[in-house]
């Protein structure tokens, strides 16, 4: 059902990272699809959209906990209209995680076939709009947070004997460190990193644009590791883990601050924390980007 071809279509929504690409969706599907789900890739020379059918229900491919942004590619309205007419009016549907632009494509398609629907904001991502320099970024987050960022960096360097950020673009020992740190997390986060998830993350790291960034002190064991994706727009932080025994030196925040600095230095325009409304993201300068859900009226 999947292949690596691309027709060069632009995403209907801006700045959605890797999440609408065939390679990403194929990886998620390969590792997390459920029995009874049927993938359906609607594609022609004008556009593309990845759907999934499960019985009498229609959705977008991939679990919403793993696919942070949804977006059709190119002009997909006619493709969706044709499929909706075939799918049948009496079935249910739910299209989640739609930024503006993507939601417009879905609702226009539903309007053209005359289907009733409900649209609402159901979650958000957290995006930092990056200035030209790191000093400008520090000024933008305000005096208190600027002081905290500098204080935490000094404390990390003082207690850890230094500070080093390293990037890795393929699986290896640092990926194993990431898994180990993730499993040591408390609660749901610690339970998330199953063997199946490890396999999925390993495959993601083999794809173009994906990378690990690790924060070190004076030794060779990372204090924190993140996996993310970078492109011409900036950086998308997909998942992270840190050593809970080092929480007193704030390795997670220090790593994120260093990554923001590196992204600015590389010419990136956004640093995207992706889904979630955790307060630290907004303390670090993020704005909320609403994501919409469009679903059938029952």
Show the domains of the chain with their CATH numbers.
22-124+290-296 (3.40.630), 131-268 (3.40.630.30)
Look at residue 88 in the predicted model and tell me its pLDDT: 75
How high is the pLDDT of residue 93?
95
pLDDT for the residue 1: 40
What is the reported pLDDT for 188?
78
The mean of the pLDDT values for the chain is 94
The pLDDT value given to residue 89: 75
pLDDT tens per residue across span 236-290: 999 999 999 999 999 999 999 999 999 999 999 999 999 999 999 999 999 999 9
pLDDT at residue number 5: 38
Q: By percentage, how much of the chain surpasses pLDDT 90?
A: 89
> In this structure, are strands 47-54 and 73-74 parallel, antiparallel, or unpaired?
antiparallel
Place of tokens 């594609």: 43
Does the structure show a pLDDT above 60 at 148? yes
Band of pLDDT at residue 9, cut at 50, 70 and 90: confident
pLDDT of 26: 96
Mean pLDDT along residues 94-111? 97
* pLDDT for res 87: 82
Mean pLDDT in residue range 85-114? 93
Enter the pTM of the model.
0.94
2 pLDDT band, cuts 50/70/90, is very low
pLDDT 10s digits, 17-68? 999 999 999 999 999 999 999 999 999 999 999 999 999 999 999 999 999 9
DSSP assignment of the chain equals ---S----PPBSSS--TTTTSHHHHHHHHHHH--TTEEEEEEE-SSEEEEEEEETTEEEESS-TTT------EES-HHHHHHHHHHH-TTSEEEEEEE-TTHHHHHHHHHHHHT--EEEEEEEEEEEEEP-SSHHHHHHHT-HHHHHHHHHHHHHHHHHHT--EEEEE-S-SHHHHHHHHHHHTS-HHHHHH--HHHHHHHHHHHTSTTEEEEEEE-SSSS-SEEEEEEE-SSEEEEEEEEE-GGGGGG-HHHHHHHHHHHHHHHTT-SEEEEEE---HHHHHTT-EEEEEEEEEE--
- Closest by CA to 217, choosing from 171, 255, 179, is 255
pLDDT one-digit tens code per residue, 185-222 = 888 777 888 999 999 999 999 999 999 999 999 989 99
pLDDT grade for 4, boundaries at 50, 70 and 90: very low
pLDDT of residue 3: 38
> Region 155-182: what's the mean pLDDT?
96
Q: In this predicted model, which residue has the larger pLDDT, 231 or 89?
A: 231
């Amino acid at each position: 059902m999947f292949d690596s071809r691309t027709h060069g279509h632009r995403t209907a929504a801006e700045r959605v990272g890797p999440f609408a690409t065939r390679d990403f969706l194929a990886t998620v599907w390969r590792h997390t699809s459920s029995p009874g789900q049927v993938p359906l890739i609607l594609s022609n020379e004008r556009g593309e959209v990845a759907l999934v059918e499960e019985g009498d229900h229609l959705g977008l491919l991939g679990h919403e906990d793993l696919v942070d942004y949804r977006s059709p590619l190119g002009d997909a309205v006619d493709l969706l209209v044709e499929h909706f007419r075939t799918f049948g009016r009496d079935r249910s549907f739910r299209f989640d995680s739609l930024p503006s632009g993507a939601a417009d494509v879905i609702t226009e398609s539903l309007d053209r076939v005359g289907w009733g629907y409900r649209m609402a904001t159901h979650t958000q991502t957290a995006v930092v709009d990056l200035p030209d320099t790191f000093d400008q970024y520090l000024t933008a987050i305000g005096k208190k947070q600027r002081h905290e960022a500098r204080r935490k960096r000094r404390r990390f360097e003082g207690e850890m004997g230094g500070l080093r950020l390293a990037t890795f673009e393929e699986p290896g020992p640092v990926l194993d460190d990431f898994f180990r740190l993730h499993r040591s997390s408390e609660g749901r986060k610690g339970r998330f990193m199953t063997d199946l998830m490890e396999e999925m993350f390993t495959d993601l790291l083999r794809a173009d644009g994906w990378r690990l960034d690790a924060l070190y002190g004076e030794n060779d064991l990372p204090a924190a590791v993140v996996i993310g994706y970078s492109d011409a727009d900036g950086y998308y932080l997909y998942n992270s883990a840190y050593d809970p025994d080092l929480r007193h030196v704030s390795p997670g925040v220090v790593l994120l601050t260093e990554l923001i600095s590196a992204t600015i230095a590389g010419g990136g325009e956004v640093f995207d924390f992706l889904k979630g409304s955790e307060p630290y993201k907004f303390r670090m300068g993020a704005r909320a980007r609403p994501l919409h859900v469009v679903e059938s009226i029952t």
